[in-house]
Amino acid sequence: GQNIDQPTEMTATEGAIVQINCTYQTSGFNGLFWYQQHAGEAPTFLSYNVLDGLEEKGRFSSFLSRSKGYSYLLLKELQMKDSASYLCAVRGRTGGSYIPTFGRGTSLIVHP
């Protein structure tokens, strides 16, 4: 089975940098995703890592260490609209398929 752990809530100031950590245990690791979810809306894709290292995409970067079962999402130049839940999802072996399993999400509050 899969086990994913991420902080429940974080707060940060507009313009700052915030790092959201995710640790996981899984069988048959086949990729890690970060999704953003605003209240009352569907999750939207932010990033994908399958190999160790850093993936950068604009203000958002994601890092993966497979040996440590660890990832983080880095958000730079925070804006008020970045206030949302950030979901870490690990694709691992479920039965005969690879299925994304989600963490409980980290609620990020950005204040002025």
Partner 1 sequence: DTGVSQNPRHKITKRGQNVTFRCDPISEHNRLYWYRQTLGQGPEFLTYFQNEAQLEKSRLLSDRFSAERPKGSFSTLEIQRTEQGDSAMYLCASSSGTGSEKLFFGSGTQLSVL
Positions in the binding site for partner 1 (CB under 8 A)? 4, 31, 33, 35, 41-45, 48, 50, 87, 89, 91, 94-97, 99-105
In sequence order, which residues have a C-beta less than 8 Å from that of residue 42 and are 6 or more positions away?
none
Q: How far is the CB of 90 from partner 1 (least distance, A)?
A: 11
Nearest to 64 by CA among 74, 75, 50, 46: 50
Give whichever of 17 and 109 is closer to partner 1, judged by the CB atom: 109
Number of Cβ within a 10 Å radius of residue 109: 12
d(CA 75, CA 21): 12
Give whichever of 3 and 13 is closer to partner 1, judged by the CB atom: 3
Give whichever of 53 and 112 is closer to partner 1, judged by the CB atom: 53
Q: How far is the CB of 21 from partner 1 (least distance, A)?
A: 15
Q: How far is the CB of 24 from partner 1 (least distance, A)?
A: 12
Which pair of tokens denotes residue 24?
Answer: 């996981």
